[in-house]
């Protein structure tokens, strides 16, 4: 019997292009493999011990003779390659069409509704790099008090504001207004508050980012677990991605290290259910900025903490390490990449060295989480529990 499942998302740590990657402009993407090629010696001994290098077709430099965990990879069935789509599919929702994107900015009627509702004009309304746009428009924003609205290749409506010009609570309220407007055909995956501080020439984004996601369009494993009386502890931006639905409690974190510490605290608590953690630094700080060295170091820091997680686990706990998409920092693009995600599973009840193969959907992970608790729900996905759990 399983007591806790720790589902740990290494945000954007993809392991090779999907068969349809070319349709997304992602031919040749392999976030993890290309970092190894460019950076050279990256030390991930604990991930390799779990079986990372044994995954079919992964082309990584270390293959373990006796992996400690079960290992495999999964395809993305949903249309799209963004954070919300990836997490939702893991949790049992497969989207037939991607969230809308706005390469030319948002339609006038959307911006007019937003301006009227917040009582201010907005600046920009085009795609932009978040760090570059505050350099370019931060001073004008401070003079006018107008928030900066921008988007990217993702399905996002982002609102940047200096914390001393528009206080955090007011910025968050603006984002809630935008979220209410952006529904239906304009239902972007996320509205994101992007606060910053500093002076002209030295603006910097703060850690008070807040995401306002669409509510999931169908039931997820979080809903099912909650309905069955199990607890769901969300660490990092999980609460935002699922709009709080099906979550018992949430721990807001500012970086990977805080996320790991919060996860360890949750593992030690006496409850039955799911710990769902997102470690966002790989994507937010390094993937989108094409920072290969930063990405590599962040992976190495996580690898060093894996023994701490394993030591904190009880005999009836199961750890699943995976991702939600790719974001290859070695390519010209700064966008997410359409990739396979790794599946590494560890626990005393898990048979070591089991090859889980190539799963047809990210949703197989969520189906397995439910199956580990002996719950069978009519969600997408095919469980791999029987393939890896030791016979009693």
Q: What would be the CATH architecture of the domain defined by 4-97+215-388?
A: 3-Layer(aba) Sandwich (3.40)
pLDDT at 372: 98
pLDDT at 40: 84
**Beta-strand pair 148-151/123-127:** parallel
User: Whose CA is closest to 290, among 39, 86, 27?
Assistant: 39
Domain boundaries, the chain: 4-97+215-388, 108-212
pLDDT band of 122, cuts 50, 70, 90: very high
pLDDT at 153: 81
Residue 335 DSSP label = S
pLDDT tens per residue, range 263-298: 999 999 999 999 999 999 999 899 999 999 999 999
CB of 360 closer than 8 Å to CB of 73: no
pLDDT at 392: 67
pLDDT at 111: 98
pLDDT at 391: 80
Q: Which tokens in the block code for residue 47?
A: 């991930």
Average pLDDT over residues 123-152: 96
Q: Do domains 4-97+215-388 and 108-212 have the same CATH topology?
A: no
Report percent pLDDT > 90 for the chain. Answer: 94
Q: Which of 12-16, 44-48, 205-209 has the lowest mean pLDDT?
A: 205-209
**Beta-strand pair 156-162/148-151:** antiparallel
CA distance 300 to 207: 22
pLDDT tens per residue, range 334-391: 889 999 999 999 999 999 999 999 999 999 999 999 999 999 999 999 999 999 999 8
Side-chain-side CA neighbours of 19 within 13 Å: the count stands at 6
Report percent pLDDT > 70 for the chain. Answer: 100
Residue 41: is its pLDDT beyond 90? no
Residue 374 φ/ψ, nearest 5 degrees: 60, 40
Residue 161: is its pLDDT beyond 90? yes
Residue 6: is its pLDDT beyond 90? yes
| Alpha carbon 135 to chain centroid, angstroms | 27
CA distance 243 to 245: 6
Average pLDDT over residues 26-34: 97
**Beta bridge partners of residue 232, listed in sequence order:** 274
Average pLDDT over residues 322-339: 96
Helix (H) or strand (E) holding 192: strand 190-199
pLDDT tens per residue, range 231-248: 999 999 999 999 999 999
Name every residue whose Cβ is closer than 8 Å to that of residue 261 and which is 6 or more positions away in sequence: none
Q: Give this prediction's pTM.
A: 0.92
Average pLDDT over residues 149-164: 95
Tell me the CATH number of domain 108-212, given options 3.40.50.1100, 3.10.105.10, 3.30.70.1250, 3.40.50.2300.
Answer: 3.30.70.1250
pLDDT band of 154, cuts 50, 70, 90: confident
How much is the mean pLDDT over the chain? 96
pLDDT tens per residue, range 66-121: 999 999 999 999 999 999 999 999 999 999 988 999 999 999 999 999 999 999 99
Q: What angle do CA 15, 19, 23 make, to 5 degrees?
A: 110
């Amino acid at each position: 019997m399983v007591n806790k499942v720790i589902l740990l998302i290494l945000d954007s740590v993809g392991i090779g292009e999907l068969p349809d990657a070319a349709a997304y402009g992602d031919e040749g993407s392999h976030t993890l493999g290309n970092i190894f090629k460019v950076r050279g010696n990256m030390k991930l001994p604990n991930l390799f011990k779990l079986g990372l290098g044994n995954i079919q077709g992964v082309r990584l430099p270390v293959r373990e003779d006796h992996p400690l965990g079960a290992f495999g990879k999964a395809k993305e069935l949903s249309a799209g390659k963004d954070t919300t789509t990836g997490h939702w599919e893991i949790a049992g929702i497969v989207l037939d069409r991607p969230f809308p994107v706005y390469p030319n900015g948002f339609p006038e009627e959307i911006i007019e509704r937003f301006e009227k509702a917040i009582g201010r004009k907005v600046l920009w309304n085009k795609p932009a790099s978040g760090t570059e746009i505050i350099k370019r428009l931060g001073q004008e924003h401070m003079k006018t008090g107008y928030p900066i609205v921008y988007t990217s290749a993702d399905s996002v409506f982002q609102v940047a504001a200096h914390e001393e010009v528009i206080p955090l609570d007011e910025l968050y309220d603006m984002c809630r207004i935008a979220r209410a407007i952006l529904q239906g055909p304009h239902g972007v995956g996320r509205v994101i508050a992007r606060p910053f501080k500093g002076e002209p020439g030295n603006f910097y984004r703060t850690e008070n980012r807040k995401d306002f996601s669409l509510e999931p369009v169908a039931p997820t494993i979080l809903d099912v677990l909650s309905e069955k009386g199990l607890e769901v502890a969300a660490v990092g931006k999980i609460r935002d991605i699922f709009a709080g639905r099906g979550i018992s409690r949430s721990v807001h974190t500012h970086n990977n290290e805080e996320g790991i510490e919060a996860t360890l605290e949750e593992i030690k608590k006496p409850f039955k259910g799911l710990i769902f953690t997102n470690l966002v630094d790989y994507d937010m700080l390094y993937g989108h900025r094409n920072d290969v060295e930063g990405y590599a170091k962040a992976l190495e820091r996580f690898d060093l903490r894996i023994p701490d997680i394993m030591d904190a686990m009880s005999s009836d706990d199961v750890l699943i390490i995976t991702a939600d998409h790719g974001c290859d920092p070695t390519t010209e693009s700064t966008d997410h990449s359409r990739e396979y995600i790794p599946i590494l599973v560890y626990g005393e009840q898990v048979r070591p060295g089991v090859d889980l193969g190539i799963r047809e959907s990210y949703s197989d992970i969520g189906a397995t989480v439910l199956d580990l608790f002996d719950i069978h729900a009519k969600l997408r996905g095919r469980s791999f529990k029987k393939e890896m759990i030791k016979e009693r």
